[in-house]
Every structure is written in structure tokens, then in C-alpha cells.
Amino acid sequence: MTTSGAEPGRLVLDTSAYARLRVGDGRVLDRLADADVVLMPSVVLGELEGGFRLGRRPEANRAVLAEFLDEPFVAVAPVTADVALRYGEIFARLRRAGTPIPTNDVWIAATTLDRGAHLLTFDRDFEHVERLPCTVLATR
């Protein structure tokens, strides 16, 4: 599913998209090649760090992530006061609609909207967020 409305060159990766990038999913690689800027929400970095700590290769995974983050077209998108306001709006709207999604996904959606970007994900929960420019890819 793809929703338009974002600046086409600004791509946000969620945790699932980064994980698929790491295994060489061509669909993710193609979208990265088309992007001018790739944004990694700080919330995604936290999710990745949690996974690294639970895994068997935390140092190697951190090194690969650091290398990716050092690319000139990649930037970390922090949680700001504006992102927090968007979070509250999305959170309330989803709760009223009876379609809550995981908290971190709300933060990622808020970051994407705040940055005028397009989210790439494999997580269908994001389809519940109104007006979120998003591509949800199917897992294979």
C-alpha cells in the first residue's frame, strides 16, 4: 500500500525496513536508491539497540548500523517538541477510532509526518494512521 503526500526524496525507515535492508531485500534497496535523504527515527535506533543486546552479535550489529548512519544521505530524526505534539494527535485519534497501535509505531509515524517524509515499513499497523505517507511492503 502506498499513500502519497510526502516529499518524494525523504524516506523514513522503520525497524522492519532496516532489518530487511540488512538481508539485502531488493525492494528496500530500490527505494533507498531513489531517496535523497534517509531518516532513521531515534525510536528506531532504540528498538535496534534492544534487539542487538538480545542477539549474539551486538558489537557487529552496532558497527554496521554506525556505518549506515555515517552515510552522507542518512540522518537521525530525533524526538522534538513538534514530534511530541504530533504523537499526541495520532495517539488520541487512534484510540478514539478503536485502532490503537504500538507506542513506538506512533512515535515513528509522528516523526515521519513532522519531517514531511515517506515511511517505508513491513508493518501493517501503520495503515491505521490517517494521512501518513507510507509504503507497506509484504513479507516474503
Domains and CATH numbers, the chain: 10-136 (3.40.50.1010)
pLDDT digits (tens, 9 = 90+) for 78-106: 999 999 999 999 999 999 999 999 999 99
d(CA 6, CA 3): 9
pLDDT above 70 covers what percent of the chain? 94
pLDDT digits (tens, 9 = 90+) for 112-124: 999 999 999 999 9
Identify the band that residue 140 occupies on the pLDDT scale cut at 50, 70 and 90: low
Give the pTM: 0.93
Q: Is the pLDDT of residue 2 over 50?
A: no
| 3 state SS for 84-95 | HHHHHHHHHHHH
In DSSP notation, 17-56 reads: HHHHHHTT-HHHHHHHHH-SEEEEEHHHHHHHHHHHHHSS
d(CA 22, CA 29): 10
Average pLDDT, the chain: 94
Which three three-digit cell numbers place residue 88? 499526541
d(CA 137, CA 82): 28
d(CA 19, CA 93): 29
Averaged over 22-28, what is the pLDDT? 96
Q: Is the pLDDT of residue 111 over 90?
A: yes
Q: Is the pLDDT of residue 7 over 90?
A: no
First to last CA, the chain: 15
